[in-house]
Structure 1
Amino acid sequence: MATLEIDRLNKTYGTVRALRDMSFTVGAGEIFGFVGSNGAGKTTTMRIALGVLAPDSGEVRWDGRPLDLAMRRRIGYMPEERGLYPKMKVGDQLVYLARLHGLGTVAARTAMEHWTQVLGIDARRGDEVQKLSLGNQQRVQLAAALVHDPDILVLDEPFSGLDPVAVDVMSGVLRDRAAAGVPVVFSSHQLDLVERLCDRVGIVKAGEMVEVGGIEELRATQRPQWVVDAPAAPPGWASELSGVRVLRYDGARTFLEVDSPQDGAEQAVLRAALATGPVREFTPQRPSLTELFRHVVSSDEAPAPDSTTGSRTTPSTRQEASA
């Protein structure tokens, strides 16, 4: 099945470089999380994919071919700022939008009825959008992105303002669409949700993709960290161990980092801990996506993957783009 390709997009606003060789792919049936600080370039990338903005250079392709107007009509797009008619009734609006995408009257109404029911807003079909809660407006916005049965989903902050029940509903819809073979790309600042939901994640900084990969791949580290709970161990017990760096002591728990998982240093740590008495916990620690994100976006010297070779380079300090 077809793949969405974002290939070396560049975009400049005056003296501000909004995108720098932005590149990633989203395969059929894959959920791709697009994360970064405000102004990192996420929305600019999405608008270029939709044809709302033109890049200075680079290309967006679907199934190996540049996206044209006909193909862009097959994208379901959910903007961060609501793009609904506030005084138009929910049902009428969704039928209207479906017809704009080429559905006939009967098919458009059937699709409207289906998605309002799935998203739990079927009782609000006769209400004006402006009279809905922000969470229900967000559900209508997602219905508008889905009502024409798109081949690609591009969603900008789709979970913003949703309560936990609505988050579960929307997550289920995205999983269902991915299971049907639809590539799904969405941006979000809710990194715990991104970590649970996405197959792969791209972290953007100053218009450039600096980390991309599967969750477990991104969380992997060359220097494994461990937590040791040894209640009888004396203070500083691990400080002299070879190949080990103590990160911190927290009561009976010691947080430490070993040089390499291949040299057996972690077994030496366990033996040293057991020599002090009982060990209640000996657990590997891996950074969460939130911790990884903080590290990447807060470091001016964070290494960035080259967009064509996958090798790592050190970017210079960059001006944040206002996307």
Structure 2
Amino acid sequence: MRDSSLAVTATGLAKRFGDRRVVDGVDIAVPTGSIYGVLGPNGAGKTTTLRMLLGIIEPDEGSRSLLGHAHPRDASDQVGYLPEERGLYPGMKAVEAIAFMGALRGLDWRAGRKRARVLLEDAGLAHAADQKIKKLSKGMAQLVQLLGSVVHTPELLVLDEPFSGLDPVNQERLEALIVAQRDRGATILFSTHVMAHAERLCDRLTIIAGGKARFEGTVDDARATLPVKARYMPHHPSDDIAKLLPADAQPEGKGWVFTMPNEGIEGVLVKLIDAGYGISGLSIEPARLHDAFVKIVGREALEAAA
């Protein structure tokens, strides 16, 4: 019986190409109705993992379930997929390309054209509806292909590096589209090596490096692998301030940065005020997802991927 709380599950997925073990025992559990990220440096095994989940390639080891189906292709009409390799017929008009992709998933042509125009308008691309793909910018064509992957209102949307090659305006459009799909009840699973998108969008994520899953949890869980920092700016600067700050305090600009003490920052602030240094500015800063990613993956792995 299907666990409706999970849209995608995988246990011990492994895949070898020649002598190289590209994916090595990855577990994934994607909650229904969530935005779930698969993060990792280039060559980490993200695309291979997604393709195994979709049934495009078969794993050498492990099992997976897609929308309750042990054979992922049985759920293909309920899935929208944007592959890493983009591809549309250049001579097709945008509205026809979207309707065509819907037809491949069982959507009636007439309904597909009608939905395509609505999707293009909602994405701010109504002006491109009757333009041929070859006349569109790369970013606009990529968004058209994404709209083609959602025109049949899939339960699950799988996007492989969807932000690759997009300018900031189209990145914003794509983020808005992903959130809109989640809000209508779809589950979104996407891969990326760009932490900013994951930080803004993901409910949960898995970090993969060297074919292995190194972390699974929420963005806040990932950030919590690094300490929270405090940034303090005195009203009356002095080198002597360092004596009243935690041992790891470092000068930065006109202020100081240090790790938040376990007992809280209040005791430090009382000492600074009593000593007459005052407080011109103070901020408490959780670690960025990028910094947590670097710690989890390791700089050597990132340098190797680069």
Per the TM superposition, whether the score is higher than 0.5 is yes
Q: 1:221 to 1:9 in 2, by over 3 A?
A: closer
- Report 1:201-280 matches (<5 A): 201-221=205-225, 223-235=227-239, 237-239=241-243, 244-258=246-260, 261=262, 263=263, 266-274=265-273, 275-280=275-280
User: Does the Cα contact within 8 Å between 1:221 and 1:286 map onto a contact in 2?
Assistant: no
- Report 1:98-117 matches (<5 A): 98-117=102-121
RMSD over equivalenced CA pairs, Å: 2.6
Match of 1:307 in 2: none
Match of 2:283 in 1: 283
User: Does the Cα contact within 8 Å between 2:54 and 2:72 map onto a contact in 1?
Assistant: no
Supply the AA of the counterpart residue of 2:295: H
Q: 1:208 to 1:245 in 2, by over 3 A?
A: farther
Q: How far apart, CA to CA, are the structure 1 residues paired with 2:82 and 2:226?
A: 38
Q: 1:236 to 1:292 in 2, by over 3 A?
A: farther
Q: 1:221 to 1:108 in 2, by over 3 A?
A: closer
Structure with bigger helix share is: 2
Q: CA deviation at 1:150?
A: 0.9
Supply the AA of the counterpart residue of 1:253: G
- Report 1:1-323 matches (<5 A): 1-3=4-6, 4-221=8-225, 223-235=227-239, 237-239=241-243, 244-258=246-260, 261=262, 263=263, 266-274=265-273, 275-299=275-299
Q: 1:8 to 1:319 in 2, by over 3 A?
A: farther
User: Does the Cα contact within 8 Å between 1:5 and 1:26 map onto a contact in 2?
Assistant: yes
Supply the AA of the counterpart residue of 2:117: E
Q: How far apart, CA to CA, are the structure 2 residues paired with 1:319 and 1:47?
A: 25
Number of equivalent positions: 301
Q: 1:161 to 1:68 in 2, by over 3 A?
A: closer
User: Does the Cα contact within 8 Å between 2:54 and 2:73 map onto a contact in 1?
Assistant: no
Q: 1:289 to 1:128 in 2, by over 3 A?
A: same
Supply the AA of the counterpart residue of 2:36: F
User: Does the Cα contact within 8 Å between 1:154 and 1:186 map onto a contact in 2?
Assistant: yes
Q: 1:122 to 1:251 in 2, by over 3 A?
A: closer
Q: Deviations over 1:123-151 (max 9, x none)?
A: 33333322210111111111111122111
Q: How far apart, CA to CA, are the structure 1 residues paired with 2:68 and 2:243?
A: 55
Q: What TM-score does the superposition give when structure 1 sets the normalisation length?
A: 0.83
Match of 1:306 in 2: none
Q: How far apart, CA to CA, are the structure 2 residues paired with 1:42 and 1:219?
A: 21
Q: How far apart, CA to CA, are the structure 2 residues paired with 1:68 and 1:251?
A: 55
User: Does the Cα contact within 8 Å between 2:98 and 2:151 map onto a contact in 1?
Assistant: yes
User: Does the Cα contact within 8 Å between 1:206 and 1:319 map onto a contact in 2?
Assistant: no
Q: Deviations over 1:76-120 (max 9, x none)?
A: 001122122223332332222212211223222222222222233
What is the percent sequence identity of the aligned residues?
A: 31
Supply the AA of the counterpart residue of 2:55: G
For the residue of structure 2 that corresponds to 1:66, the secondary structure is coil
For the residue of structure 2 that corresponds to 1:269, the secondary structure is helix
User: Does the Cα contact within 8 Å between 1:7 and 1:58 map onto a contact in 2?
Assistant: yes
Q: 1:246 to 1:22 in 2, by over 3 A?
A: same
Q: How far apart, CA to CA, are the structure 1 residues paired with 2:197 and 2:79?
A: 23
Q: How far apart, CA to CA, are the structure 2 residues paired with 1:184 and 1:193?
A: 13
Q: 1:236 to 1:212 in 2, by over 3 A?
A: farther
Supply the AA of the counterpart residue of 1:295: K
User: Does the Cα contact within 8 Å between 1:41 and 1:321 map onto a contact in 2?
Assistant: no
User: Does the Cα contact within 8 Å between 1:9 and 1:19 map onto a contact in 2?
Assistant: yes
Supply the AA of the counterpart residue of 1:36: G
Q: CA deviation at 1:26?
A: 1.6
For the residue of structure 2 that corresponds to 1:254, the secondary structure is strand
Q: Structure 2: which 5+ runs fail to align?
A: none
For the residue of structure 1 that corresponds to 2:147, the secondary structure is helix
User: Does the Cα contact within 8 Å between 1:153 and 1:182 map onto a contact in 2?
Assistant: yes
User: Does the Cα contact within 8 Å between 1:10 and 1:58 map onto a contact in 2?
Assistant: yes
